[in-house]
Amino acid sequence: MEKGYLEVIGLIERLHRQFLEVVKAELDHLGIQDINNVQSLILYNIAGEEVTVGELTYRGYYLGSNVSYNLKKMVEMGYLEQERSQHDRRTVRVKLAEKGKALREKLVEMFDRHMAKLTDGALAQPKLASVNESLFALGRYWNELLNSPAHAARTDVRMRAQA
């Protein structure tokens, strides 16, 4: 079992990197060079919403540490529009600009092409559903570990040791 668990962890990481390369290849094919693959996926996930930086990370749209930098670049390149909150001037909300909407539509077309090919192949809908179920279960397990009293106690001990 341990080997299977470690293989899954490694596979998740490799698949994520490989998927980012697929998105990069699509951007290259479209001749788009002013936005990177990670930024384009942030843009895809924002969709028609208006979100704050905190919401991007909370919702899992972006898991990296430099989300503010990426948003700033996307605003500069015309993919996003930003607006300060009327109620809290420290809060900035972003939404897709027309250029961002156009790129998102291209990404939707790419995903549609992928799904059309997958349904005829080795990963038909029942298999994809099973993969999703397994990955969600793994995510719930990891979340339970992070929220367990034992994890909280270990984190507390480390924090006190660093102080």
What residues make up the domain containing 45?
A: 2-121
What would the two tokens of residue 28 be?
């290259």
Domain count of the fold of the chain: 1
pLDDT tens, residue by residue, 71-81: 999 999 999 99
**CATH number for 101:** 1.10.10.10
Q: Which band of pLDDT confidence, cut at 50, 70 and 90, is reported for residue 14?
A: very high
Say if 152 falls within a structural domain: no
Torsion of CA 97, 100, 102, 103, to 10 degrees: 180
135, part of any domain: no
> What radius of gyration, in Å, describes the C-alpha atoms of the chain?
19
pLDDT band at residue 117 under the 50/70/90 scheme = confident
Query: Which residues neighbour 49 within 8 Å (Cβ) at sequence distance 6 or greater?
Result: 95
pTM check: above 0.85: no
